[in-house]
Amino acid sequence: MHNTFVLILVVGAALVFDFTNGFHDTANSVAPTIATGALKPRVAVAYSAILHVVGAFLSLKVAATIANSIVQQDLVTLPIVFGGLAGAITWNVLTWYFGLPSSSSHALIGGVVGAMLASVGTDGVIWRGIMAKVFVPGIIAPVIAIAVAGLATLISRRATQHLDDGSRTLGMRVGQIGASGLMSIAHGTNDAQKTMGIITLALVANGTLISTAEVPATVPGWVVLACAVAMASGTFIGGWRIIRTLGHGLTTLDSTAGFAAQMSSAVVILTSSHLGLALSTTYVSTGSVIGTGVATKGRKVHWNVAGRVVFAWLVTLPAAGLVGALAYAGESVFGASGGAVAVGLVVAALAATIFARSRKGKVDMHNVNEPWKSEVLPDSSPSAA
């Protein structure tokens, strides 16, 4: 089916999702680096953004399937993709507002599943795939990260106990910058490719690109460039609310804990990816930070904040799915083109409202490192209690 207008909307929505993915997941790479003062906030996000661009160009083996093994691939259409993106964008913006680190990939899966349910019903969804690729890794990821980061923190503290504070802090900060770079490149490669895959699939579905079993479609250069720029821009904007939660809200990080958390996250993500068990970057990063808090004597983990984060993880799939289903229903009522425009306007209005509200209680590079009280908003924020 050729519908260039809907194709343009899908490509636009995919790039907006990529942008939200960038600012939502910046925290995974840089939150401990900023929290411990290894890099200044603006320098940290700029460094991460540049390495996201590098990562996006490093590998072009695109996972050209959306929610592979989650939904029936041959039933995926442009309106379903658009509905899925609408759900994911909405959930990313909402969780950013509340400063909650949640998985952008799971939000996209939820959105696509919701749109698929609204389109063809339960036959279009592979429920066992959801269990195997979302729920089980969702439980495994933080547990492994807590174990690795916790033990790494214990050993690192023991190994450097005789060093003076200045040497230890300086050395660990250098290590943090290296680990943060590795995380940024890995995230740039992984997540930018997902959007490249979505756009490539949309181009194939629309007949703009030809893809056969013998000669699969290659990703056009402009798609690679656009995805890299969108994600890097989002990263550079900096999701300061989530950076603050991950850097200060879960526990207090010093440079030793920060290095242990970031290096553990990088190793777990790269190892799991290499062995074929893809784990969420967000879940691993959050688990690593909690692990350092658990392993440090006299340092408490804010379990109420951790509980809110886990709650967000649990409702990501159904919430994004609900928006995805509503978006698809809207497209069905108003037609593919009109519906996509209407849904796009509703999502844009919602995002603008949330952004306007966020300006009243601002978290930015200037106050991101203020001491954590009980909420993501620091004391200096105008609307903080």
Partner 1 sequence: MASTPTPVAPIPLIDWTVLGQVLAVSLALGIGLVAVFSLGLTALSFARNESASPLSRTLGRLGVAVTALGVATVLAWGFYIITQKG
* Closest to partner 1 by CB, 175 or 239: 175
Alpha carbons 233 and 369: distance in angstroms, whole number: 22
Alpha carbons 29 and 21: distance in angstroms, whole number: 13
> Exactly one of 112, 250, 268, 363 binds partner 1 (CB under 8 A); which one?
268
Contact predicate 83/17, CB 8 Å: no
Rounded-to-10 torsion of CA 110, 116, 119, 124? -150
Burial 21-50 (b: 16+ CB within 10 A, else e): bbbbbbbbbbbbbbbbbbbebeebbbbbbb
> Exactly one of 4, 8, 69, 345 binds partner 1 (CB under 8 A); which one?
69
218 interacts with partner 1 by CB under 8 A: no
DSSP assigned state of 1: -
Alpha carbons 29 and 285: distance in angstroms, whole number: 8
DSSP three-state, residue 125 = strand
* Closest to partner 1 by CB, 100 or 331: 331
Smallest gap, in angstroms, from Cβ of residue 116 to partner 1?
Answer: 10
> Exactly one of 8, 40, 159, 349 binds partner 1 (CB under 8 A); which one?
159
126 interacts with partner 1 by CB under 8 A: yes
The label of the residue with tokens 């991101």 reads 368
Smallest gap, in angstroms, from Cβ of residue 222 to partner 1?
Answer: 21
Which residues are bridge partners to 125 per DSSP? 71
To which H or E segment does residue 345 belong?
helix 336-360
Q: How many residues bind partner 1 (CB under 8 A)?
A: 65
> Exactly one of 8, 131, 349, 352 binds partner 1 (CB under 8 A); which one?
131
Question: Which one of 29-37, 184-192, 235-243, 328-336 is the stretch in contact with partner 1 (CB under 8 A)?
Answer: 184-192
* Closest to partner 1 by CB, 249 or 291: 291
Q: Residues for the chain: how many in total? A: 385
> What does the per-residue mask of binding to partner 1 show for 338-367, with x meaning CB under 8 A?
------------------------------
Alpha carbons 104 and 110: distance in angstroms, whole number: 10
Q: What part of residues 162-181 is at the interface with partner 1 (CB under 8 A)? A: 162-164, 167-168, 171-172, 175, 178
> Exactly one of 180, 272, 285, 369 binds partner 1 (CB under 8 A); which one?
272
Alpha carbons 282 and 265: distance in angstroms, whole number: 9
- Write out the residues near partner 1 by the rule CB under 8 A: 1, 55, 58-59, 61-63, 69, 72, 74-75, 77, 120, 123-124, 126, 128-129, 131-133, 136, 140, 144, 147-149, 151-153, 155-156, 159-160, 162-164, 167-168, 171-172, 175, 178, 182, 185-186, 189, 193, 256, 259-260, 263-264, 266-268, 270-277, 279
